[in-house]
Amino acid sequence: MPSPEPIPGVRGLIIPIGGAEDKVSDRRILRNFADACGGEQARLVVIPTASELDSTGGRYVDVFRHLHVKQVDVLDITERSQAEDLHAVAILERSTGIFFTGGNQLRLSTILGGTAVAQSVRRCNARGAHVAGTSAGAAFVSEHMIAYGREGATPIAGQVTLCPGLGLTNRVIVDQHFRQRDRLGRLMTALAYNPFAIGLGLDEDTAAFIAADNQITVVGAGGITVVDVSDLAYSSMARVSEGEPVQLIGVRLHILTDGATYRLDSREATPGERA
């Protein structure tokens, strides 16, 4: 479950990004994140744990510095022992924004899960710090995380493997690079395992800005596929064998683009201004 808010309504934004966000032209998603965190006065922490490239953290430092953010720290955590470091926790506790890079989401769950750093990120978000993650980082922010799975448009039993994520929200399951990698089937398979949650399929260069009042605002060049199984009338998941297609009846689906909103509590979608 998400960390309790010390003051109701102060929880920071949760911002899963579908990957391949613009880093060189208008940088709109990253700019919006930095502005929400305080602009020039923001105190950002980049966590590149998902990536095995040494340059990943520094690349985002350069991007945020181009956006005039003066203080950007990198927590280059590659071992669980480093995620228990009190100095790292102290840096997080002073932050106004935390950013998880892309890579492999299993590195995030296995290296950070349950550590002092993970607990600190949860507390910071509950107190008002904004937390964003791109690609693997986007998958990690929710309680139920897609670890890996096969591509395709049809849900297939055994198509996806879930594991615990960071748990900033338990209302959504996130999948990234959504249209580009044909991941509708695996997101719907994940939801068939857990019909409580709402599926968010994030295209590249597209983000869901999830506010404390449970409203999502879409920002970016692509779309977000919202899969709502709250009125699911029938699922064959418990009856089929692994590798067989799954029947799902009563699924609601929305395609939302820049400026559109979606309420996680009432499950209502509103088109963006350009529409």
Which residues are part of the catalytic machinery? Answer: 135, 177, 204
DSSP symbol at 263: E
User: Is the Cβ–Cβ distance between 199 and 227 less than 8 Å?
Assistant: yes
Query: Measuring CA to CA, which residue among 146, 154, 242 is closest to residue 194?
Result: 146
Give the residue among 145, 72, 82 at the shortest CA–CA distance from 109.
Answer: 145
Number of helical (H) and strand (E) elements in the chain, helices listed first: 7, 17
SS3 label, residue 151: coil
- Sequence-ordered list of residues with C-beta below 8 angstroms from that of 243, at least 6 positions apart, any chain: 156, 157, 158
Longest dimension (CA), the chain: 56
Give CA–CA dist 268/253, Å, rounded: 11
Asked if 251 and 237 touch (Cβ cutoff 8 Å), the reply is no
| Separation of alpha carbons 227 and 167, rounded Å | 20
Query: Exposed/middle/buried for 5, CB within 10 Å: 0-12, 13-18, 19+?
Result: middle
CA dist 142 and 170 (Å) reads 6
Q: Is 272 helix (H, G, I), strand (E, B) or coil?
A: coil
